[in-house]
Chain A
Amino acid sequence: MIDREALREIGMIAGRSVRRTLRQPALIVPVVLFPLMLLAINASGLDVTKKIPNFPADSYLDFALVVTFMQGGLFAATTAGTELANDIETGFLNRLQLTPLRAPAILIGQLAGAMVVAFIASVVYLAVGLLAGAQIKAGVGGALVLIALAMLVALAFGGLGAIIGARTGSAQAVQGMFPLLFVFFFLSSMNLPRNLIEADWFRTIASWNPVSYLVEGLRSLVISGWDGTALWRCLVTAIAISIVGFAGASSSLRTRMART
């Protein structure tokens, strides 16, 4: 059970994390800008894809909009892992360890910071998407759920980033993980619905790839409306990755924080 004191500690660590991130344009700009640039390129270059029979969306912009949320979540999560590794590298973790701060609060605080960054980025993606003509079939409620799920995705990836950050204590190692996760993105149904992927091996990998279920859940809100199956799959997948990530990161951080 999280008591009031623990919530206060988490708030302070999360506040620091958000403040730090917002004061580093080099961390914020890529999170907001790169996914939007990729969206602009894909939406204009691949719009013809909507003519493929059984393509599920009216425009490729609608179809691809949620990819920005996924990429934003990944960026934010990488930042969380990098920041944790930085604290280890610089000795700031020792400063925190010398206070009565409880170890889980450090991790939850960092991840909460990543989720706040993901929230800010998601609002920007949504605003830009709507201005560019995207339509959210699930309406205003769906847009809010979309943002909430994007934050959950950031939490899920954040746990994975934090595992690497806590285990290695190296910001470079966390950044090295980024291309690997990007491969997972491309081997999912991110760019095409699974039923339209012709190559059997690709379709099989995409069907086993949890990223597909995250993307499809978010996307369903934009292109289909309220699709219960897609949403619960997305929710279960995100929660499962979050649990694995948090457990792994907690264990790694406990090992790293050898205080008595």
Chain B
Amino acid sequence: MLTYRAMSHDGITVSGLVREFKGGIRAVDGIALEVQPGEIYGFLGPNGAGKSTTVHMLTTLLPPTAGSATVAGFDVATRGPEVRRRIGAALQEAALDAFLTGREHFELQGGLHGLPKAERGARAVELLERVGLTEAADRKVGGYSGGMKRRLDLALALVHRPSILFLDEPTTGLDPQSRSALWGEVARLAKQDGVTVFLTTQYLEEADVLADRVGIIDQGRIVAEGTPQALKQEIGRSSVEAIPANPDAREAIESVLRRFGEPAAAGPKGVAVRLEGGSESLGDVVRALDAEGLEVAHLQLHAPSLDDVFLAKTGRSLEGAEEEERAEEAVPS
């Protein structure tokens, strides 16, 4: 199998990066971050937080309003062509041509990157096999499933052997099996080939499983950054979530739980608190619910999650933030 290793200077450095749109809207509001060569950096945040705008700036598709960023050692604002030669990108919309086949996409993309014809063919064979699309290679992309399109998009981003890969929500809309397969490929690229990966996601699990380090962005600002483990340890305490057996008892259960800690992220049917006394106080919680005669259908102790980190830093849960943004989008300003 053909493999390649990235160079040691293939990292990303961002300082005070701002992107302002018409009407003074600051989609990205002075972010700073550093991604080491060969690292998978997860950029986590709800819809509209500024993730894609950041990716567009770092991939030279959008000039920054202020601040600076270097990718592979080149300034994105002034050295666009050099940056583009060294990066691959699979953007949010898997922009493929429905009327071309998978192989024809490689022919076009490889050709535009200046690969000789023979190399384009060999690269297509290698990458199509790697993402499991060999059999579908000569079918028009219009007939591909969402997962196949995403895998082709990823493979196309690798055609010119980039040292830095930008993946903008690469698994949105994929079924769990396709998602897992894509995670495996991204992890392999970073670990075996040394490719630096900048990955945006709104999935907590994705950031948790895949990223070496995570930056959490909300309303254009990075609110937390570190390894998933360190971020969770920073929050420290476990949370308990209770799903009432009787939905009418929800408020009463919430009232009992509040005696043991502050609110935490919960599913739509549940209520949760972060336990001030840690996991050891779970027994007290059960006894208190029992003493009040409150029945729960399900009681679960959660180790701290990235959603807890998001909640602690922004006062909202990640899912709640998305719902809020959707509501804001629905209301004309």
Contact = CB atoms under 8 A, between A and B. Distances in A.
Nearest to B59: A98
Interface in B55-97: 59-63, 76-81, 83-85, 87-89, 91-93, 95-97
A84 B63 CA distance: 22
A148 B149 CA distance: 40
Nearest to B61: A259
Q: Size band of the A side of the interface?
A: 20 to 34
A99 B84 contact: yes
Contacts of B88: 98
B62 A258 contact: yes
A88 to B, nearest CB: 10
B2 interface: no
B172 interface: no
A98 B109 CA distance: 10
B140 interface: yes
Contacts of B109: 95, 99
Scoring A12, A100, A258, A260 by chain B CB atoms within 10 A of each residue's CB, the highest score goes to A260
A90 B100 contact: no
Contacts of A9: 112
B111 interface: yes
B23 to A, nearest CB: 17
Interface stretch (A15-23, A197-205, A245-253): A15-23
Interface string A96-109: 11111100000000
Given A98-B84, A98-B89, A100-B84, A92 B97 contact: yes
B112 A96 contact: yes
Contact of B61 (A5, A19, A98): A98
Interface of A: 5, 8-9, 12, 16, 19-20, 23-24, 90-92, 94-101, 258-260
Interface of B: 59-63, 76-81, 83-85, 87-89, 91-93, 95-97, 99-100, 104, 108-109, 111-114, 140, 156
26 contacts: A5-B114, A8-B111, A12-B108, A12-B111, A19-B99, A19-B104, A20-B97, A23-B140, A24-B99, A91-B95, A92-B95, A92-B96, A95-B95, A95-B109, A98-B87, A99-B112, A100-B85, A101-B112, A258-B61, A258-B63, A259-B62, A259-B84, A260-B60, A260-B78, A260-B79, A260-B80
